[in-house]
Amino acid sequence: MTELRARNLRALGDMDLSPDGQANLVTGHNGAGKTTLLEAIYLLSRGRSFRGSDLRQLVAHGKQAAAISGTVAVGQAARRLGLTISGGSARARLDGADGARRPEIARLLPVLNLDARLMDLVDRGPERRRLLLNWVTFHVEPGFNAAWRRFRRALRQRNASLRQGAGTKAIAAWDGEFCRAALEMEALRKAVAERLRPRFAKIAARLTGMPADWDYHPGWPREDSLEEILRAGLDGDRKQGNTRFGPQRADLVLRLESRRARYIASRGQQKLLASSLMLAAAEVLETEGANRPVLLVDEPLVELDADHGRELLKAFVERGAQLFIAAVETAPYRSWMEAREIRLKEGALV
Ligand SMILES: Nc1ncnc2c1ncn2[C@@H]1O[C@H](COP(=O)(O)OP(=O)(O)OP(=O)(O)O)[C@@H](O)[C@H]1O
Ligand SMILES: [Mg+2]
């Protein structure tokens, strides 16, 4: 990202910025707008915020609309991304034109967000880990998006039939497409998980000082055919009104010293493991993805001691991703990394 502009985005009235290509340290007092700056970049990529879902909250009080724009370098070309938020909805622009599709925009600006809820990746259920794995696969496997969409559609339809109490035939009518799309997306996703895994293990071992790994679960017993499992599990699915087996249930079960990290990791270890997942994802994207990723990191040193904090910052800096770190206290960062300081005060650059 070579340029970033935000207007009437929360407290950011009119911010016009040329970030450093490598590392940026966003600083200022509480409420200065640091997280909002990270949010602006995330919004450009995803069209939604990482804080809550109501777009209305993003528009500065008393204003009608918020606007964000940014430029990313893609090879020799500069692509312009834009987002206007008003009346609770968002409209994206690409190179000045409306109507670009969200996956195309997302591909131009792959954003990894390490915010205050980062630890959910470790101590919550599988959903966020699965989303991360899907997201990486989306960026490095061109066929994934189509298979994933087909799969989601089949899953939606099958679940709707289950909830409506449809007959066996009507429900089973979805199974063929469900399984075809499921196996297609699963093959791609599993291959990506296998490329991520050694990277995660290496980074996590270095950051935590302990052996770390994960087990990949595809969401159904792999030795059995998915179609057979669906058939055999139909009654149970009916009772739950939900398809209980399939790639929608995949998980990465994180392990620290071979125990379930979710149950044993300390807060700091959770943070380091979650960061390792994100760093591994960034590494895969850097080597295989079409465009350079951006890491958005909010207060990475909170809850870490000095040694672990320093190692984590080193690991961030070693990545080829563009880095935006938000922090109130900049002293530790300044001694451990080189970064352009972006100072905010009451929503404006100073
Ligand atoms: N819709 C809005 N309109 C105006 N101001 C808003 C709006 N939403 C949030 N704010 C304010 O924007 C300011 C910046 O918030 P932000 O979360 O970016 O601060 P921050 O610099 O990350 O602070 P902290 O260090 O506490 O995390 C806050 O004072 C917040 O109350
Ligand atoms: Mg903040």
Q: Output the pLDDT for position 93.
A: 97
Domains 1-110+291-350 and 119-288 share a fold: no
**CATH number of this structure's domain 119-288, picked from the four choices 3.10.20.30, 1.20.1050.90, 3.40.50.1970, 1.10.150.20:** 1.20.1050.90
pLDDT given at position 222: 85
> CB 189: neighbour CB atoms within 10 A?
24
- Tell me how far the alpha carbon of residue 149 lies from the centroid of ligand 2, in angstroms: 34
Domain 1-110+291-350 has CATH 3.40.50.300: yes
Residue nearest atom 8 of ligand 1, based on CA coordinates: 10
Q: Are 57 and 85 in contact (CB under 8 A)?
A: no
CA-proximal residue: ligand 1, atom 2 (nearest)? 10
Q: What is the mean pLDDT of each run of 10 residues along the chain (350 residues)?
A: 98 97 98 98 96 92 98 94 96 94 95 96 96 97 96 97 94 95 97 98 98 96 92 95 97 96 96 98 96 97 96 96 97 93 97
Chain segment 37-47, per-residue pLDDT in tens: 999 999 999 99
Write out pLDDT tens, residues 54-81.
Answer: 999 999 999 999 999 999 999 899 999 9
- Where does the chain have alpha helices with state H? 34-46, 102-108, 120-123, 127-140, 144-163, 168-172, 175-208, 226-232, 234-240, 261-264, 267-288, 306-318, 331-336
Protein residue closest via CA to atom 6 of ligand 1? 10
- For the chain, give every domain's residue range: 1-110+291-350, 119-288
For ligand 1, pick from 36, 64, 297 the residue to mutate: most ligand atoms within 8 Å of CB: 36
Between the CA of 116 and the centroid of ligand 2 the distance, in Å, is 8
- pTM for the full predicted model: 0.96
Task: Provide the pLDDT for residue 237.
Answer: 96
pLDDT at 44: 97
Residues touching ligand 1 (Cβ under 6 Å) are 10-11, 28, 30-36, 57, 59-61, 328
Instruction: Find the 93 Cα to ligand 1 centroid distance in Å.
Output: 25
- Which atom of ligand 1 is the closest one to the Cα of 61? 3
